[in-house]
Structure 1
Amino acid sequence: MILWMVLTLLVALAVVGLVIPLARPRKAVDAAATPTGILADQLSELDAQAAAGTVTADEAARLRLEIERRMLAEAKGPDAPARPLSEKSLLRLAFGLAAVVAIGATGLYAVMGKPEIASANAAAAKAPDGTAAPPPDHPGGDIPAMIAQLQAQVARNPNDAEGWRMLGWSYFQTGQFSESAEAYDKAATNDPANPEHRSAQGESLVQAAGGQITPAASAAFRQALKLDPNDPRARYFLAVEKDQAGDQAGAMADWIALINAAPEGAPWVGEVRNFVEDLARERGVDLTGRLKPVSGGAAPRGPSADDIAAAQTMTPDDQQQMIRGMVEGLEGRLQEQPRDAEGWIRLMRARMVLGEPAAASRALKQGRAAFAGSPAEQARISEAAKGLKVPGA
């Protein structure tokens, strides 16, 4: 009831603010207060002074000429803005618009408003036993709610490395990269044997610095490599550091070595390979014989500039067939290697673009099922599905 009273008051204020400017009556213009009226008074006063002899005839004639010139100039000024409607018509228009605003605002809130959200979130923040509820693993879950729950969780148990890791991931997804780096640092402190915490911290620091490999990020990557010399994220970004320092050949060699050492079916290798091939093409670097052949289980490559140019010469049917082939290839790989959240998101996006919402909904369900033991990844897939307007999201 209180909420509706507040909303009624706000609508009333909006209505008043709309009606007053339109319904306000026009004020009569005082002719004596206009510039022309003032000059006319000066002219009368000049005639009185000439009659009294306080000014000479020549001086009076000169002043009269100047005043009359100014009166003509003022007379050519812009007219007052005209009202296209009469006072009664404006009044009807004002109250009509006010009615539309009031009815529209009330109807819109009745359809889209959710006055129960605050209480529902507060209830969901705790589990029945009074502890923080786990991150949502259902379509209604959202990252901001997860962040609040995880903050409460690590506040109660600051030694919870997994809680800090999930909080760092959540911050990263919402663009809070500095906070993400701090959370990953806490995770690494509580679980120092896990190299992924340090490499994730380094990536967050890179994002916070706008893509630059800062000394702190470099240190985090190097700590990750001490724990796991094959950590792909640390190796990739340390190659980026070389490239930013001007050692382009060294960076390219490191990226090639990273791709060639990738385990069979690694979900990230396709993206890194695409990046390296495009960069080599841009810089005129010959990669012949330097990259291992793409195996059947590798991630399908996205279209290159040559692919796009070739597609532009195809007929619409051929283009559609090519696109469907790429999408089906992605879906086939995900059936074999389902633990790829980014792949499921790409598949949902492709299905929606192709106008296949039922297939996108199926991909959403399969993606959630693939991460049944990882609420954070489920929430990521669900958030992406909601943004894509996938049915069931």
Structure 2
Amino acid sequence: MLLSANEILLFLAFAGLTGLVLWLLLRPLRAGASSVPQDVGESEIAIYRDQLAEIARDLDRGTIGEAEAEAARVEVSRRLIAAGEAQAEAARNVTKPSDPRWRRGAAVALALGLPMLTLFIYLGEGAPGLEGQPIEARLDKPADELPVEGLIVRVERRLKDNPDDVAGWETIAPAYVMLGRYEEAVRAWTRAMIAGGVTAERLAARGEARVLANEGTVGAGAKADLEKAIELEPMEPRAQYLLGLAELDEGNREAALTRWKALLASAPADAPWAPAIRGRIDAVEGRAAIAPEDEPMIRGMVEGLAARLAEEPNDIEGWIRLVRSYDVLQDREKALEALETARKTFADDAEALARLDNLSPGSTAPR
């Protein structure tokens, strides 16, 4: 069977990688073979011998006296003896080179064994017969047969060639939200507004993505989007709902309820979002707020928030949400406990304490 060019390149890459690994493993063996002791200090000894010969010649020429020559010979001889002893000590400390036959055997074992072991593992655990799955072939399917990730890749490619495709940006932004890629959703809604203009719906959608990216808190950027949205369309449902949440987090319970009730009053009878707003109003007013089947899931989310605050306690917005959540769940004991912990955490923050003082359990969901 003939190999394709890609397969040939792949095998060449594997061969090169294997060769590099073998070279690295065999280097110590080669170093061991060349570690035969050299004549340590031999040059220094030769210098001292030459100095003794030079002293003798100077004495014969009469350039130095006998006393000077004797003193010089004693000093050079002392250094010569010290150099000889150092050479002997170094020779004793040099490790005897290993048996070259052992090195050759180890080199052969590595050179043959490593590729064979790699091939054995690949044939046993890999899938050499698996056909290639090019990205183009995987994306060349009807949209309803593709996973969300595949749809996103397809739309991203289309948008790369046509960045002014408003429908593409409006399609991909909710998909990013579905996958938890909130910052990318914010950018997608921005591109949709650049290409197609600013609308209340797009501003509300971008504001929602910013809230999700901020772990459910309506920050300054999100709030600006939501307020601009209701300027363009006063009863934009998503913007009104999220602004109500912001008011609730700020302790302005009545403002949130007024906003949501006004939204319901103006809603069509069949508005799909109306039941969610009614449920939220019921939760805040303390009526049958949570369906029994939903309570385990909601409690799990609240306990997750509590666990995060135990690790990162310096989050005043998080503590406010936690106290209110316990209050909505009718769990007064945990609400009081969370409130006390928050007060201890922000004991030196007057502004935070003032906000916490407005959170007496029961204020958000009177019994």
Give the TM-score category using the shorter length.
Answer: 0.5 to 0.7
Partner residue, 1:10: 13
Higher relative contact order (CA 8 A, sep 6+): 1
Q: Determine if the alignment matches structure 1 residue 200 to structure 2 residue 208.
A: yes
Partner residue, 1:304: none
Larger radius of gyration: 2
Q: Can you give the 5+ residue segments of structure 1 that lack an aligned partner in the other structure?
A: 128-132, 243-248, 295-393
Q: Determine if the alignment matches structure 1 residue 44 to structure 2 residue 49.
A: yes
Partner residue, 2:361: 288
CA deviation after TM superposition for structure 1 residue 46, in Å: 1.9
Distance in 2 (CA, whole Å) between partners of 1:234 and 1:203 is 11
Q: Are 1:205 and 1:217, in contact at CA under 8 Å, matched by a contact in 2?
A: no
Structure 1 pair 259/48, CA: closer, same or farther in 2 (3 Å)?
farther
Q: What's the CA shift string for 1:218-241, capped at 9, x where partnerless?
A: 42354467633776656556877x
Structure 1 pair 185/71, CA: closer, same or farther in 2 (3 Å)?
farther
Matched residue type, 2:12: L
Structure 1 pair 82/290, CA: closer, same or farther in 2 (3 Å)?
farther
Count the aligned residue pairs. Answer: 268
CA deviation after TM superposition for structure 1 residue 183, in Å: 0.9
Partner residue, 2:106: 93
CA deviation after TM superposition for structure 1 residue 182, in Å: 0.6
Q: Are 1:50 and 1:60, in contact at CA under 8 Å, matched by a contact in 2?
A: yes
Q: Can you give the 5+ residue segments of structure 2 that lack an aligned partner in the other structure?
A: 60-67, 257-279, 306-321, 324-334, 344-355
Partner residue, 1:180: 185
CA deviation after TM superposition for structure 1 residue 81, in Å: 5.5
Structure 1 pair 16/165, CA: closer, same or farther in 2 (3 Å)?
closer
Q: Are 2:204 and 2:226, in contact at CA under 8 Å, matched by a contact in 1?
A: no
Structure 1 pair 236/213, CA: closer, same or farther in 2 (3 Å)?
closer
Q: Are 2:148 and 2:175, in contact at CA under 8 Å, matched by a contact in 1?
A: no
Matched residue type, 1:6: L
Q: What's the CA shift string for 1:226-257, capped at 9, x where partnerless?
A: 633776656556877x6xxxxxx779x98x99
Q: How does 1:210-359 map to 2 (within 5 A)?
A: 215-223=220-228, 227-228=236-237, 260=284, 264-265=290-291, 270=299, 273-274=302-303, 275=305, 276-277=322-323, 279-284=338-343, 287-292=360-365
Distance in 1 (CA, whole Å) between partners of 2:33 and 2:136 is 53
Distance in 1 (CA, whole Å) between partners of 2:120 and 2:229 is 56
Structure 1 pair 6/120, CA: closer, same or farther in 2 (3 Å)?
closer
CA deviation after TM superposition for structure 1 residue 48, in Å: 1.3
DSSP-derived class of the 2:201 partner: coil
Q: RMSD value over aligned CA atoms?
A: 4.8
Matched residue type, 1:290: S
Distance in 2 (CA, whole Å) between partners of 1:236 and 1:15 is 60
Q: Are 1:147 and 1:171, in contact at CA under 8 Å, matched by a contact in 2?
A: no
Structure 1 pair 216/280, CA: closer, same or farther in 2 (3 Å)?
same
Q: Determine if the alignment matches structure 1 residue 121 to structure 2 residue 127.
A: no
Structure 1 pair 31/164, CA: closer, same or farther in 2 (3 Å)?
closer
Which deviates more, 45-54 or 110-119?
110-119
Distance in 2 (CA, whole Å) between partners of 1:269 and 1:223 is 31
Q: How does 1:98-109 map to 2 (within 5 A)?
A: 98-109=111-122
Q: What's the CA shift string for 1:174-194, capped at 9, x where partnerless?
A: xxx543321133456756426
The structure carrying a bigger helix percent of its residues is: 2
Q: What's the CA shift string for 1:245-293, capped at 9, x where partnerless?
A: xxxx779x98x99962697557985466544137535214674323539
CA deviation after TM superposition for structure 1 residue 64, in Å: 3.4
Distance in 1 (CA, whole Å) between partners of 2:151 and 2:87 is 69
Partner residue, 1:130: none
Matched residue type, 1:124: R
Percent identical pairs in the alignment equals 10
CA deviation after TM superposition for structure 1 residue 14, in Å: 3.8
Distance in 2 (CA, whole Å) between partners of 1:239 and 1:89 is 79
DSSP-derived class of the 1:56 partner: helix
CA deviation after TM superposition for structure 1 residue 118, in Å: 6.0
Distance in 2 (CA, whole Å) between partners of 1:188 and 1:260 is 35
Matched residue type, 1:27: S
Partner residue, 1:168: 176
- The alignment's TM-score, normalised by the length of structure 2, stands at 0.54
Partner residue, 1:21: 27
Matched residue type, 1:228: P
Q: 1:134 aligns with which of 119, 137, 143?
A: 143
